[in-house]
Chains A and B, each alone.
Chain A
Amino acid sequence: MASPPPLPSSTSVLSSASSLADSLFQRSLDDLIKSVRSDPSSEPSIIARSLSEIRREIRSSDPLTKSIALQKLTYLSSLHFHSMSFAAFHTLELLPSPSPQTKRLAYLAASLSFHPSTTELLPLATHQLHKDLTSLSTSSSSSSFPFLPSLPLHLLSLASSADLSSHLAPDLVPLLSRSSPLQPKAVAATYRVLSLCPSTVPVLFKPLVDCLSSDNPLTVSAAVGAFCELSAPPNDPAPYLPLAPEIYRVLVNSRSNWTLIKALKIFSRLVPLEPRLGTRIVEPLSKFLRESQAKSLVLECIKTVVSCLPTHTEAMRLAIDKIKELLSSDDDPNLRYLGLQTLGMLAPGHLWALEESREVVAQSLTDPDRSICHEALRVMMAMTLQENSIESCTLLVRQAAKSDPEFANEILDSVLTSCSKDFYELVVDFDWYVSLLGEMARIVHCTKGDEISRQLVDIGLRVRDARPELVRVARELLIDPSLLGNHFLYNVLSAAAWISGEYVEFSKDPMELVEALLQPRTSLLPTSARAVYIQSVLKVLTFSCNSHIDESSSLVNDTVIARMLSLIEMTVGPLAESEEAEVEDRVRNLLGVVRLVANIKDLSGDKDKDGMIYEVVRVMDALFSDEMGPVSANAQKKVSVPEDLDLKDNLADLSEFISDNDAAMSRSNPSILFYPQSCNASEEVEVGPTSVAESTSLKEHRKRHGLYYLSTDKETTEPELTEDYPRVNETLPLSNGDTTRRVKVTKLRPTVVKLDEGEDLATSSSLSTKVEAMKDDPLSGAIKDVLLGKKGNGASSSFDASSSSQGKGKDKVKGKEIKSKKGEEGESKDRHKGRRKHKHRKEPAPPVSVAQETPVIQDFLL
């Protein structure tokens, strides 16, 4: 039965054989499958051989051979992922075949492999699809194959393109409007077509809406599902608001859980747009919550209530009780997961409910199931406020120490991000937080070194009171030799080194610091970290020398200084020949200073002899004594341009530096010159300086009124900070400025320096741009046009405001014609569709804009 391996010469011989002989030798699908399964090791070669057979067979003229080849190819393509695109044309050939089996196979192959992106032959199928879609109306084929249109419907729903959809849309309409087993399928295909090609909206939308009121519950279910998908994000749900009464009717009358769930989803999207809908659906929702046995429906109700109806206390109470039930189901992890998920949805409005379930959440953190742990973590973070941040975070970090690497890093990530939000809003006790950061760095699988080091430095810059604690934590990190080998932690260590260097005045024992910074294992660190270490040593040395001279500190006496100097020379000396430029650079700086103050131990108190040493030490100390503060992201913009700087100057002088070729190009291309000024036109030159002068005067004005480097533009009423840094011991009020959340703490929260970073201001502007972007969606625009056009006949002039493209205008005109034609036909055809309801709704005065739509809804719902 096996055919010989195909060679180029033999294909021509074989193809000339009769088709009968071919079919006798062709392998059927069963044979193929058996052969593939028989020998797993040689599977690729069997598949390759079958593929070449198929390529040969599919070109034969006998439809049966072709179809079997196509069937085999479909199998291979769907399960072994070989591309089927070479067979696209043959598939198309088989589509019109009269035998239903072949037709079915061809459609299956088409729906699995066709797509506008993979084959350009799709438009060739248009006519065949058209014939098949309308085959029910012609009597010849309807008796033999009443389900024929279902095949092209599937193909349309899976593999359609915009062109195909627009051509075949009119054929869908009769299928939508007759009550047949195919109506639900037609509805599904319609929704796909609509989302692909908004220009078909005038044709298809009305029949789709009619399906909502059909007698066939399946059709209703399909129609509700279609609207649910059409209004799903990222699409705009606003155009579907006029359909709310219909969907409400479905919600109240339907018996099928699937339909109810979909209707609830649509309402959950509509209620935020129209709050009065919320009051209407509360009743049915509460009924479902109380009585329904189906967990899926209950879940959907809970989700809807929680997300859209937070003000209806009774419904919320019901929903929260149900959530607690879900959470307490020990035997079914699915329900626990869903309970946690919906619990998370309750924040931030109803934190009391979350507090009640605190232990359950904490317990779920240790669950062996990863999904449940994730959800528990999310709920935990949502519950964290200033009051309980300490216990939550300590609990979480302890849990992280016990968990597997991935989850531990997730915990750390969420703790770090939430605590640093809004300039550390959640953190009241910075000493505790800093030690927590140190603990986090020590956790075994921690990969969040970047964030931890950033926060350590950030806190050092912003929060003065926390600096002693920072130095303590940094000292511990630096002393520990085992951390030096961990390559995830090197930036934490360099942050620690920087902190100890910068705030060395808080440290208790500088000698110990120097020893830690210079320990032998530091050679394991990368260049950047080592450079920071060396620089810190320099800072510590300067500080020690200074305090020795001042004799202000008891720790630094002659022997200590001498030891320090000799230690530095010994360890750092060899590094002067290092190959890394940064390290070498700083080492040489350090060694230079060391040699300059080498005789400091012999200080005799006589200023003249030791004048140079004094000078050096004082200068170095002055170098490091400026306090570094955080720099705002907008700082550069606020620097005023100096008055004599003319930015709009003609840069023609650059041509001196450019070679001849480049100069020729630049003269023809005017983009190098900011203004096409020539030196002759004097009035143009004057424009430049005056505008610059104006802008500088504006900046002067701003400077005078305090909108400058350190101030903030925020809307908060209480002044966040003044032009200078607040003094350490100044009793300023809490800097977050929100009086309602001030908590009685034993220690005042330290002041956190905030600048006009512009981060928080950006969110409100981005939200508004997003809403505008959604309104420009062509599909929603088209649907709005149709729905409003239904209600108003002569309001065409106002549509120009809403439509944005000319093409849509053309389609609208055409659509109106088609609509009017179909309207006449439709009126005569359906008597049992309740179209009187639609006529009834047309009676109120045709409102023109969406804002005026609300009176119509009001009549029906309230």
Chain B
Amino acid sequence: MIHFVILINRQGKVRLTKWYSTYSQKERSKVLKELSGMVLSRGPKLCNFIDWKGYKIVYRRYASLYFCMCIDKEDNELEVLEIIHHFVEILDRYFGSVCELDLIFNFHKAYYILDEVLIAGELQEPSKKTIARLIAAQDSLVETAKEQAGSISNIISQATK
């Protein structure tokens, strides 16, 4: 199973983290420091798998972001590489030519998308179209709800509550 997903940029700043196993806050920052050291120092021609503390780290670099996933020893690394690529393609579709800034300012949306792709450390949905549809549906629901809440009558009724 996938234990955690981390997105780091070239300077070592963390853009997204999702943990599917228990790690305390201190352990999380420790793991991040180690990981950024290892992944950022690898050259471009080297293979995408690192052995780390009995687990394997599979990473891939897209422009300035490194997408890293930590898996068990007996998991299939090529499968995880494909999962990473799948996730990136979905992000691309949703944001339209995604760049790092998109992830910075819409981090909660990135989380929602990740939740649709992976659940409990396993791949959930291999079809990009379905995920795009799901997220779009959820977004439209939120939009309509927001519109309703943001209407003048609602604000007034709330203020006078």
Interface residues of chain A, those whose CB is within 8 Å of chain B, are 18-20, 29-30, 33, 37, 62, 64, 71, 74-75, 78-79, 81-83, 99-101, 104-105, 108, 111-112, 115, 117-118, 144-145, 147, 153-154, 157-158, 181, 184-185, 188-189, 191-192, 218, 221-222, 225-226, 229, 232-233, 256-258, 261, 265, 295-296, 299-300, 303, 333-334, 336-338, 368-372, 374
Return A487 CB to nearest CB of chain B, in Å: 27
Return A87 CB to nearest CB of chain B, in Å: 14
B76 adjacent to A225 (CB under 8 Å): no
B120 adjacent to A256 (CB under 8 Å): no
B78 adjacent to A18 (CB under 8 Å): no
Q: Does B34 contact A (CB under 8 A)?
A: no
A371 adjacent to B108 (CB under 8 Å): no
A108 adjacent to B155 (CB under 8 Å): no
A117 adjacent to B22 (CB under 8 Å): yes
CB-CB < 8 A to B149: which residues of A?
64, 99
For the complex, give the distance between the alpha carbons of A334 and B15 in Å: 26
* Residues 109-145 of B at the A interface (beta carbon under 8 Å): 111-112, 115, 119-126, 130, 134, 137-138, 141-142, 145
27 interchain pairs, CB-CB under 8 A? A20-B155, A62-B158, A99-B146, A99-B149, A100-B145, A104-B112, A111-B115, A112-B111, A117-B22, A158-B120, A188-B124, A229-B1, A233-B74, A261-B79, A296-B78, A299-B76, A299-B78, A333-B45, A333-B46, A337-B49, A338-B78, A368-B46, A369-B46, A370-B46, A371-B47, A372-B47, A374-B51
CB-CB < 8 A to B28: which residues of A?
81
For the complex, give the distance between the alpha carbons of A754 and B12 in Å: 54
Interface residues of chain B, those whose CB is within 8 Å of chain A, are 1, 14-18, 20, 22, 24-25, 28-29, 43, 45-51, 72, 74, 76-79, 81-82, 104-105, 107-108, 111-112, 115, 119-126, 130, 134, 137-138, 141-142, 145-146, 149, 155, 158-159
B72 adjacent to A232 (CB under 8 Å): yes
B125 adjacent to A184 (CB under 8 Å): yes
CB-CB < 8 A to B15: which residues of A?
79
B47 adjacent to A369 (CB under 8 Å): yes
B138 adjacent to A78 (CB under 8 Å): no
CB-CB < 8 A to B82: which residues of A?
296
A337 adjacent to B119 (CB under 8 Å): no
CB-CB < 8 A to B72: which residues of A?
232
CB-CB < 8 A to A82: which residues of B?
25
CB-CB < 8 A to A83: which residues of B?
25
A157 adjacent to B119 (CB under 8 Å): yes
Q: With contacts A144-B141, A225-B122 known, is A232 near B74, CB below 8 A? A: yes
A147 adjacent to B77 (CB under 8 Å): no
Partner of A295, one of B48, B78, B134, B137: B78
B51 adjacent to A18 (CB under 8 Å): no
Determine the residue in chain B with the shortest Cβ distance to A75.
B107
A188 adjacent to B120 (CB under 8 Å): yes
B124 adjacent to A185 (CB under 8 Å): yes
For the complex, give the distance between the alpha carbons of A636 and B101 in Å: 70
Determine the residue in chain B with the shortest Cβ distance to A71.
B108
CB-CB < 8 A to A185: which residues of B?
119, 124
CB-CB < 8 A to B20: which residues of A?
158
For the complex, give the distance between the alpha carbons of A269 and B35 in Å: 31
- Secondary structure call for the A interface: helix
CB-CB < 8 A to A336: which residues of B?
47
Return B93 CB to nearest CB of chain A, in Å: 19
A145 adjacent to B29 (CB under 8 Å): no
B51 adjacent to A30 (CB under 8 Å): no
A296 adjacent to B79 (CB under 8 Å): yes
For the complex, give the distance between the alpha carbons of A372 and B43 in Å: 13
B158 adjacent to A19 (CB under 8 Å): yes
For the complex, give the distance between the alpha carbons of A336 and B46 in Å: 11
Determine the residue in chain A with the shortest Cβ distance to B82.
A296
Return B103 CB to nearest CB of chain A, in Å: 11
For the complex, give the distance between the alpha carbons of A295 and B126 in Å: 17
Q: By CB atoms of chain A within 10 A, which of B28, B51, B124 has the most?
A: B124
CB-CB < 8 A to A104: which residues of B?
112, 138, 142
Q: With contacts A79-B15, A265-B74, A338-B77 known, is A333 near B145, CB below 8 A? A: no
Q: With contacts A229-B1, A295-B78 known, is A115 near B22, CB below 8 A? A: yes
Q: With contacts A147-B137, A296-B78 known, is A81 near B115, CB below 8 A? A: no
CB-CB < 8 A to B14: which residues of A?
79
Determine the residue in chain A with the shortest Cβ distance to B7.
A79
Return B52 CB to nearest CB of chain A, in Å: 10
A101 adjacent to B46 (CB under 8 Å): no
CB-CB < 8 A to B1: which residues of A?
229, 232
B108 adjacent to A74 (CB under 8 Å): yes
B125 adjacent to A256 (CB under 8 Å): no
For the complex, give the distance between the alpha carbons of A75 and B111 in Å: 11
For the complex, give the distance between the alpha carbons of A261 and B71 in Å: 15
CB-CB < 8 A to A81: which residues of B?
25, 28-29
A79 adjacent to B17 (CB under 8 Å): yes
Partner of A101, one of B18, B74, B115, B146: B146
CB-CB < 8 A to A144: which residues of B?
141
Q: With contacts A81-B28, A115-B22, A333-B45 known, is A30 near B119, CB below 8 A? A: no
Q: With contacts A30-B105, A184-B124, A185-B124 known, is A333 near B76, CB below 8 A? A: no
For the complex, give the distance between the alpha carbons of A296 and B123 in Å: 15
CB-CB < 8 A to B122: which residues of A?
188, 222, 225-226, 229
A108 adjacent to B112 (CB under 8 Å): yes
Return A109 CB to nearest CB of chain B, in Å: 10
Q: By CB atoms of chain A within 10 A, which of B20, B49, B122, B130 has the most?
A: B122
Determine the residue in chain B with the shortest Cβ distance to A101.
B142
CB-CB < 8 A to B121: which residues of A?
229
Return A134 CB to nearest CB of chain B, in Å: 19
A20 adjacent to B158 (CB under 8 Å): yes
For the complex, give the distance between the alpha carbons of A300 and B104 in Å: 36
A334 adjacent to B22 (CB under 8 Å): no
Return B158 CB to nearest CB of chain A, in Å: 7
B159 adjacent to A108 (CB under 8 Å): no
Partner of B125, one of A218, A295, A299: A218
Partner of A368, one of B29, B43, B124: B43
For the complex, give the distance between the alpha carbons of A281 and B138 in Å: 42
CB-CB < 8 A to B79: which residues of A?
257-258, 261, 296, 300
Return B131 CB to nearest CB of chain A, in Å: 11
For the complex, give the distance between the alpha carbons of A191 and B124 in Å: 13
Return B47 CB to nearest CB of chain A, in Å: 4
B126 adjacent to A100 (CB under 8 Å): no
Return A215 CB to nearest CB of chain B, in Å: 16
Return A643 CB to nearest CB of chain B, in Å: 53
For the complex, give the distance between the alpha carbons of A170 and B47 in Å: 46
Determine the residue in chain B with the shortest Cβ distance to A146.
B137
B17 adjacent to A261 (CB under 8 Å): no
Partner of A33, one of B25, B104, B123, B137: B104
Q: By CB atoms of chain A within 10 A, which of B20, B45, B79 has the most?
A: B79
Return A416 CB to nearest CB of chain B, in Å: 21
For the complex, give the distance between the alpha carbons of A218 and B124 in Å: 8
For the complex, give the distance between the alpha carbons of A229 and B105 in Å: 35
Determine the residue in chain B with the shortest Cβ distance to A195.
B120
Return A328 CB to nearest CB of chain B, in Å: 15
Q: With contacts A19-B159, A185-B119, A296-B79 known, is A333 near B108, CB below 8 A? A: no
Partner of B108, one of A108, A118, A145, A232: A108
Partner of B111, one of A101, A108, A295, A371: A108
Determine the residue in chain B with the shortest Cβ distance to A111.
B115
Return B6 CB to nearest CB of chain A, in Å: 11
CB-CB < 8 A to A233: which residues of B?
74
Q: By CB atoms of chain A within 10 A, which of B45, B141, B155 has the most?
A: B141
B141 adjacent to A100 (CB under 8 Å): yes
CB-CB < 8 A to A79: which residues of B?
14-17, 107
Q: With contacts A30-B105, A78-B17 known, is A18 near B159, CB below 8 A? A: yes
For the complex, give the distance between the alpha carbons of A82 and B25 in Å: 8
Q: With contacts A334-B48, A338-B77 known, is A147 near B138, CB below 8 A? A: yes
For the complex, give the distance between the alpha carbons of A258 and B138 in Å: 26
For the complex, give the distance between the alpha carbons of A295 and B22 in Å: 32
